[in-house]
Structure 1
Amino acid sequence: MSGPGTMNGPRATGAPLVEFDDLKLEIETFDGTLRVLDGVTFSLGARETLGIVGETGCGKSVTARSLLRLLPMPPARFAGGAIRFEGEDLTKVRERRLRRIRGQRIALIPQDPMTYLNPVLSVGRQLTDVVAARQKARPPGQRLGRAGRRRRAAELLAQVQLPHPERQLEAYPHELSGGMRQRVLIAMALAGEPALLVADEPTTALDVTIQGQVLRLIHELVERLGLAVLLISHDLGVVAKVCRRIVVMYAGTIVEDAPTAALLARPLHPYTQGLLKAIPKLHGDSGRLPGIPGAIPNLLDPPSGCRFRPRCPLATEICAREKPPVVEAEPGHRVACHRYPGPPVEADFEVPR
């Protein structure tokens, strides 16, 4: 995976924790086959924080759920490639083995806490049940009893900075604010002491102030516990606060992969440039923001060549004929565009009337 033509970024010492290697995913529908992921390739090192960004429908959440094999199969199926976690190809392991990895080695923070918390059970009951499930992987003599599970649940709530953790164990989800419920979900994710935390738009249902608190908490947990984090978001600002590296997705493909500072200061792909130009600025021109014309293509019949071609102001004939190769345009900065290698080119998007 480390040879030319791949989208790997800077890694921790040793083998990557996670490797997506030319992953292709398809979903059968009544209308035909959706080519949802087309050659997704990137890696994530231990203790590394990586963000995946893009418009709604670009394949961010599907990529995360493919890692955990949470998509129903069928109708979904892997059409090629591999997902290696700690060297093991998760596309080929049996369900029983996957159940030992989910929650133990890889944990998920979902985006809507009210959907994932049972409204008729107390926080303590739900959290101790998760702790008990995680204890099953341990030898019988090392498993916690009822009192030990309750103490562990309170410790987890304290770890995510929920005030008065013992009292919160008796609370029901409707008695907690959105930010407090999200902290409970993070505590559940930490119960198995995972190596990788997958956060699927964890701040979407929260207001701006609470978003900042949750993002700071995730950052602190990464520093304190040495976790690797895969953060899914449509908000570049959210990802920039937490992640050291960003992968930009478009229509099931990765178009750019770079360290956060480099990508924000010097975006190379026309799609990334369009996303950044659409972010409101506090200072400068107060006119209408430029927008990327068109919409994400129908993946039942995706465009030939580059999938971004129908919306790209820089598209040429070769963009329709050939899928763009992945090149390292700058050290650690990889981009899938026919205009590279070569000097950076800035796309000029239209301003809506």
Structure 2
Amino acid sequence: MKLKAPFPYFGGKSAVAAEVWRRFGNVKNYVEPFFGSGAVLLGRPHWRPDGPRLVETVNDADGLLANFWRAMTADAEAVAHHADWPVNEADLHARHLWLVGQRERITERLMADPEWFDAKAAGWWVWGACAWIGSGWCSGNGPWVSGGERLVHRDDLGNAGQGINRQLPHVGNAGRGINRQLPHVGDAGRAWGHIAPLADRLRDVRVACGDWTRVLGAALWPFTGSLLRPLSASHLRVGVFLDAPYGDGFDGAYASTDGLEHDRAIADDVWAWAVEHGDIPQLRICVAGYDDGREVPDGWVTVAWDATQRSGGAGFTGRRGAESDAGKNAKRERLWFSPHCLDPDAGQMALFGGQ
């Protein structure tokens, strides 16, 4: 069964997940600091419900998104309960405003306690993400705020406040993602049927929330720590998938409020980190981004892919015409693999047993 996130996500990498795993192999430890929709982890072919436990750590800076994934690992049934609601414009605005107001509290609690989660916020978030049209869900960018008993339009907020934009819910079809499973209020079991397989897959995944570098420290310690490296480090294999905001146009859907300059800085830092650590034999690193003329070190492998062609289109760019900016960017998609990734065309998979 092919697993996917129960909400639409722009810029997901489901179309290339298989290529990533062909070059990572069955690594002992997997780290994804920019988790988003989790398409690469969910596409891992080595996971089995009755198989050995995998060491997998994911992170996202968006507290509401991270809370959804953590709640899914801990109490997916409660998430399904709160997501089970018909699409209603009034509820969409009310829940949107509530979630934006709770973001800071939720993020702080997630970062302070690795076991904390809010199932109601997770359910409302995924319900709204499926009902919302386009980008901006829970970004906080909008002029509408709570005035006690009604919505109030605040012109002075602009894009800097904790307001929301008003819009009609998605009415073009029966719903997207989880809402497709909710035809009416009385059919509560349908949401759980959509979420249950994800809950099984995510049960042992560790979900962090915060700066992307935090989850990399623990993964790197056996190879870069100041203490004597353990003997087991010689056969450990760690896969690191880095899909940071590209910083080159629109490639986010939810809470990216820091602007393109901030995204570009993160993208530059991510590339610098990958190049610096790419020579560690036990590390297998993949960086996703646009072809921007960057200098690729010797030994790295570049894989070009077209987001409009693979698997019927991938992410936001696959939804636009080929001559649009998004369509042109779709042809700039690249994956860069570090020197110690497997070369599936050179027989390494057979030589190392896919390890």
- Fold shared per TM-score above 0.5: no
Per the normalisation by structure 1, the TM-score is 0.27
Q: Which has the higher strand share?
A: 1
Q: Which has the higher helix share?
A: 2
Per the normalisation by structure 2, the TM-score is 0.27
